[in-house]
């Protein structure tokens, strides 16, 4: 993902913290697109989280949610761990929700 795409993506989200979470958003977008069959159907939106952080909502195409969740939620948990680590570089806390 180029710097221009990351900047465009950060501008497209509503929450003011989203501009400072460009690393976390781009890592989340990249990881989810690598797992699904329809990467063009992946969208990441932001809102204010429950604990004062940033909530990232991930939507995927029909039939891809199972791929993102994985057996016993292992892939989803791994994605959350990696994105939270990337958010440390942005100095923001994030919660990731996979939305149907």
pLDDT digits (tens, 9 = 90+) for 81-90: 999 999 999 9
pLDDT surpasses 80 at 12:
no
For 16-30, 31-45, 52-66, 70-84, which range has the lowest pLDDT when averaged over its residues? 16-30
Q: pLDDT tens across 36-68, in order?
A: 999 999 999 998 887 778 999 999 999 999 999
What is the number of other CB atoms lying within 10 angstroms of the CB of residue 73? 12
List, in sequence order, the alpha helices (H) in 13-73: 22-35, 65-69
Q: Domain limits of the chain?
A: 3-99
Q: CB under 8 Å to 2, separation ≥6 — which residues?
A: none
Q: The CATH number of 3-99 is which of 3.30.300, 1.10.3470, 1.20.1250, 1.10.10?
A: 3.30.300
81-to-24, 63, 77, 87 alpha-carbon distances in Å: 11, 23, 6, 10
């Amino acid at each position: 993902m180029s710097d221009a795409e990351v900047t465009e993506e950060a501008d497209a989200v509503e929450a003011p913290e989203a501009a400072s979470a460009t690393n976390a958003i781009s890592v989340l977008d990249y990881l989810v697109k690598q797992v699904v069959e329809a990467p063009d159907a992946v969208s990441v939106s932001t809102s204010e989280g429950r604990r004062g952080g940033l909530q990232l909502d991930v939507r995927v195409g029909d039939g891809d949610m199972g791929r993102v969740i994985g057996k016993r939620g292992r892939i989803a948990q791994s994605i959350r761990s990696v994105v939270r680590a990337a958010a440390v570089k942005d100095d923001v806390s994030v919660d990731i929700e996979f939305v149907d």
